[in-house]
Amino acid sequence: MLATLTEHYFSDAAWIFERKLDGERCLGFHDGSRTGLLSRSGQSLSDTDPEITEALDRQGCHDFVVDGEMVAFEGTRTSFARLQQRIGIHDADRARASQVAVTYYVSDVLYLAGHDVTGLPLRTRKALLRRAPDFSSPLRFTPHRNADGEAYFRQACERGWEGLIAKRADSRYERRRSRNRLKFKCGRRQEPVIGGFTDPAGSRTGFGALLVGYYDAGRLVYAGKAGTGYDRRSLEGLRARLDRLERSHPPFANGPRERGAHWTQPQLVAEIGFTKWTGDGKLRHPRFLGLRTDKPAETVVRERPGDR
C-alpha cells in the first residue's frame, strides 16, 4: 500500500501519523517453513539483510506477513545514502561483516495466524501487530501519534526527518496507491529513471552527471541532469552498471542535447533531492541520494501533490 503526496497538512482524530523513514519498503514473511524479505519489486532481500530474516525466523508466531521499512542510521537520523552500502550486497556473509547495521521498522500486518487481516481497520491491525512479534533489536514496532499531525510535522522537519506518513485509522490495507495514506514531506524528492550520463571532467572519475526522466503517457520525459551527491565509490560503481546498459540513441522523447552524452536502457531508478520543479518541467538543483532497487522503472511518473 503506497501513500499519496500532499501539501495539505492537517490534524484529525480519524488519522494516525508516523515518522516517514528514509529507507527501503519491504515485506517480511514466515509461513512455517520459509522466512524471507521481499522488496516492492518482488526481489528477495534475505541475503542482503540476513539478520532481519533470522529475527523473523525466531518469532513465536510462524504464520505472518508484515509490512515495514528497512533503515540504516547516521547518528539519530535514518540515512538512505548509508543504506545504499547494504543494498549493494547480495551475499549473507558479506552483509553480516559490513559496517552498516540495519533495523526493520514494522508498521502493518497483512496476514496473521492463518487469517488475511487486510480488511480490518488499521487501528485493529496495529493492535494485533503490537502483540504478535517480539520487537527486540533489530526489529522495531513503528510508533505513531494520534490526531495532532500539524505539530508532529513541525517537529519532524525541525529534527531533520524526511517527513510523516498520515494514515486513516479505519482504513483497510489496499495493494495500490491510496488517499487513505498521505505523505507530508519536509523536503522534495523524486524517483526518476536514469536514461544516460555525461563524461567526467577534470579530475573526476566515473561520469559527470546522470540524465534522468519520468514517464508520461508511456513516453520517457527528460527532467534534467544530476551532477552532485556522489562519492568516488558511487561514481565508479554506478559507471560500471551504466556501461552494461549503454545504447546508441536516447530513450527520452524530448532530447536532451548534451555534448559527450552516453545513453542507457531506462532500467535504473535513482532517488533525487531537489528544490523545485521549473516551469518547463525540469528538476531544480537536483542531487543524487542513491539508487532505488524497490521500484520498477516503468512505474515512475512525476510526483505531484494529489496524484494517485
Active site residues: 20
Cβ atoms 122, 17 nearer than 8 A: no
Question: Given the C-alpha cell 573526476, which residue does it identify?
Answer: 204
Cβ atoms 253, 236 nearer than 8 A: no
List CB contacts of 45: < 8 A, sequence separation 6 or more.
Answer: 24, 26, 36, 37, 38, 39, 52, 70
Instruction: For residue 270, give the C-alpha cell.
Output: 535513482
d(CA 276, CA 301): 16
Number of Cα atoms under 13 Å in the Cβ half of residue 259: 2
Residue 129 burial by Cβ neighbours in a 10 Å radius (0-12, 13-18, 19+): buried
Residue 201 burial by Cβ neighbours in a 10 Å radius (0-12, 13-18, 19+): exposed
Cβ atoms 6, 184 nearer than 8 A: yes
